[in-house]
């Protein structure tokens, strides 16, 4: 399927009170995508969303929608709608009035509005609640009203600012599936902001990992998880063992004094690198006192349901290991890793470079 570009941010920078929040940010989002801006608080993801929505004006750079520069367009003139973090439902109006708000402003006729309200409520599974006051609804219901209120306007893009943050875990998971279903039914682009990596991995077509005003990596959830491009991404997405290592030559790496075969090439010889190994990729086998290889001792065991989470002290590094096989505390174990599961990354020369490394890359 040919992917058509929908919105593009070009060299966008923004500072508040002299503090840089976004620095020369470039991003392209395509039609019918579910894109998640992911990062820790203060990374600039919400500011990016607000710039797209028109609530903030960038200090420099442009926002292009369908080839048209909308950088200075007022929010009420943009064909976008937002679902706000705290829903921002109008409490002096009932459910139907809230949903009808945008349509009334647009001057739609009564029958059309009625139809739309009915359709939207059906879409978010809130039929029959037209005349309830919004304050009498539960958090999840309020969230659905907020979504209904946004989508009845048939926006080109739906912006969602951590919309599930206030819901409890079970409800959050339900809503995640609802959102995916909605996106598929409506066929519009969703731009979703969250700091919850699990949420991002579950829902997104593409994830934009951000930190300190820079984009760290853009990719599918699988790419981001399996091939983190730097230590920050690796650390932020799921649990990781991030270890200093040395690339001996192509397909061979030294980790904590032990040589491991790997699949990466092109890092040169005897180059210091960062090694990322996911905890579930660490294979433990029982080991005797005298066994060679990378061996260590289990220092901590926690039962997590699906697996055991173990800490293993080996080669002077505390490894995090997920395994369905349990080794008791004090057991001596040998650590092995499949070559495919060793992720090798260049070491950044400095903090700054770490942040910028992937910034120029436009997908």
Partner 1 sequence: MTKFLKRVYIFLIVFFMYAPIAVMVVQSFNRSKSRGHWGGFTTQWYLSMFGDRSIMAALRNTLSIAFLSSLIATVISVLACLAIVQMKRRTRRAVMGVTNIPMLNADIVTGISMMLLFLSFGLKFGYGSILIAHITFNIPYVILSIMPRLTALDKSYFEAALDLGASPVRAFFRVVLPELMPGVISGMLMAFTMSIDDFIITHFTKGAGVDTLSTKIYTEVRKGIKPEMYALSTLIFVVILILLLLLNGSRSKAGRKKAPGGRSILEIAPAAFLVAGLAVSACSLTACGSAGEEAGAEASESNVVYVYNWGEYIDPDVIELFEEETGIRVVYDEFETNEIMYPRVAAGASRYDLVCPSDYMIQKMIQNQLLQPLDWMLLPNASGYIGEKYMAQARSFDPGNRYSVPYCWGTVGILYNKTLVDPEDDMESWDILWNPRYKDDILMQDSVRDAFMVALIRNGADSNTTDPAELEAALSSLMEEKPLVQAYVIDEVRDKMIAGEAAIGVIYSGEALYTQEENPDLEYVIPREGTNLWIDGWVIPAGAEHVENAHRFLDFLCRPEIALMNFDYIYYSTPNEGAHALIEDEEVRNSPVLFPELSQYDNLQTFTYLGEAMDRYYNDLWIRLKSY
List of residues contacting partner 1 (CB under 8 A): 53-55, 74-76, 80-82, 84-86, 88-92, 94, 101-102, 105-106, 131, 133, 149-150, 153
Nearer of residues 39 and 102 to partner 1, judged by Cβ: 102
Closest approach of partner 1 to the CB of residue 78, in Å: 8
Nearer of residues 79 and 272 to partner 1, judged by Cβ: 79
Nearer of residues 157 and 224 to partner 1, judged by Cβ: 157
Q: How many helices (H) and strands (E) does the chain have?
A: 9, 20
Nearest to 9 by CA among 184, 188, 218: 218
Nearer of residues 10 and 161 to partner 1, judged by Cβ: 161
Closest approach of partner 1 to the CB of residue 96, in Å: 10
Report how far residue 282's alpha carbon sits from residue 98's, in angstroms, rounded to the nearest whole number: 52
Closest approach of partner 1 to the CB of residue 149, in Å: 7
What does DSSP assign to residue 254?
E
What does residue 311 show for φ and ψ, rounded to 5 degrees? -105, 130
Nearer of residues 24 and 97 to partner 1, judged by Cβ: 97
Closest approach of partner 1 to the CB of residue 163, in Å: 12
Nearer of residues 106 and 313 to partner 1, judged by Cβ: 106
Residue 325: both structure tokens together: 């096989």
Report how far residue 63's alpha carbon sits from residue 52's, in angstroms, rounded to the nearest whole number: 7
Q: Is 245 in contact with 322 (CB distance < 8 Å)?
A: no
Nearest to 36 by CA among 202, 187, 229, 236: 202
DSSP class per residue in 18-54 = TEEEEEEEEEEEETT-EEEEE-STTSSHHHHHHHHHT
Closest approach of partner 1 to the CB of residue 144, in Å: 15
Closest approach of partner 1 to the CB of residue 199, in Å: 20
Nearer of residues 151 and 203 to partner 1, judged by Cβ: 151
Report how far residue 208's alpha carbon sits from residue 9's, in angstroms, rounded to the nearest whole number: 13
Describe the chain by its helix, strand, coil percentages, rounded to 5.
Answer: 30, 35, 35
Closest approach of partner 1 to the CB of residue 92, in Å: 4
Describe the strand order of the beta sheet including 206-211 as a list of residue ranges. Answer: 80-83, 157-161, 189-194, 34-38, 206-211, 214-219
Helix (H, G, I), strand (E, B) or coil at 103: helix
Nearer of residues 115 and 130 to partner 1, judged by Cβ: 130
Nearer of residues 126 and 148 to partner 1, judged by Cβ: 148
Helix (H, G, I), strand (E, B) or coil at 315: coil
Q: Is 279 in contact with 322 (CB distance < 8 Å)?
A: yes
Query: Which residues fall within 8 angstroms of residue 233, CB to CB, at 6 or more apart?
Result: 209, 216, 217, 224
Residue with tokens 């066929």: 187
Closest approach of partner 1 to the CB of residue 72, in Å: 15
Angle at 358 between CA 81 and CA 41, to 5 degrees: 50
Closest approach of partner 1 to the CB of residue 119, in Å: 17
Nearer of residues 133 and 220 to partner 1, judged by Cβ: 133
Closest approach of partner 1 to the CB of residue 173, in Å: 25
What does residue 310 show for φ and ψ, rounded to 5 degrees? -125, 145
């Amino acid at each position: 399927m040919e992917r058509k570009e929908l919105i593009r941010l070009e060299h966008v920078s923004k500072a508040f009170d002299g503090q840089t929040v976004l620095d020369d940010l470039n991003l392209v989002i395509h039609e019918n995508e579910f894109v998640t801006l992911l990062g820790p608080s203060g990374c600039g993801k919400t500011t990016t969303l607000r710039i797209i929505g028109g609530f903030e004006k960038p200090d420099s750079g442009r926002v292009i929608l369908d080839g048209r520069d909308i950088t200075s367009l007022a929010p009420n003139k943009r064909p976008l709608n937002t679902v706000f973090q705290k829903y921002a439902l109008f409490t002096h109006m009932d459910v139907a009035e809230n949903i009808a708000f945008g349509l009334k402003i647009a001057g739609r006729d009564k029958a059309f509005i009625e139809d739309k309200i009915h359709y939207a409520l059906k879409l978010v599974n809130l039929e029959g609640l037209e005349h309830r006051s919004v304050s009498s609804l539960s958090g999840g219901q309020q969230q659905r009203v907020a979504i209904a209120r946004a989508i009845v306007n048939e926006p080109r893009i739906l912006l969602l600012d951590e919309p599930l943050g206030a819901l409890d875990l079970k409800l959050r998971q339900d809503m995640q599936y609802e959102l995916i279903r909605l996106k598929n039914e409506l066929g519009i682009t969703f731009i979703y902001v969250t700091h919850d990596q699990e949420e991002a991995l579950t829902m997104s077509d593409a994830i934009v990992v951000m930190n300190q005003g820079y984009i760290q990596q853009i990719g599918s959830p699988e790419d981001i998880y399996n091939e983190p491009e730097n230590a920050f991404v690796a650390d932020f997405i799921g649990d990781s063992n991030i270890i200093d290592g040395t690339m001996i030559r192509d397909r061979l790496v030294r980790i904590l004094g032990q040589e491991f075969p790997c699949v990466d090439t092109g890092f040169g010889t005897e180059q210091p690198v960062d090694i990322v190994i996911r905890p579930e990729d660490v294979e433990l086998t029982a080991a005797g006192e005298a066994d060679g290889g990378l061996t260590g001792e289990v220092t901590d065991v926690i039962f997590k349901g699906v697996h055991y989470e173990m800490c293993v002290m080996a080669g002077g590094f505390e490894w995090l290991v997920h395994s369905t096989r349990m080794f008791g505390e004090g057991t001596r174990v040998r650590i092995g890793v499949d070559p495919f599961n060793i992720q090798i990354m260049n070491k950044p020369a400095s903090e700054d470079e770490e942040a910028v490394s992937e910034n120029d890359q436009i997908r």
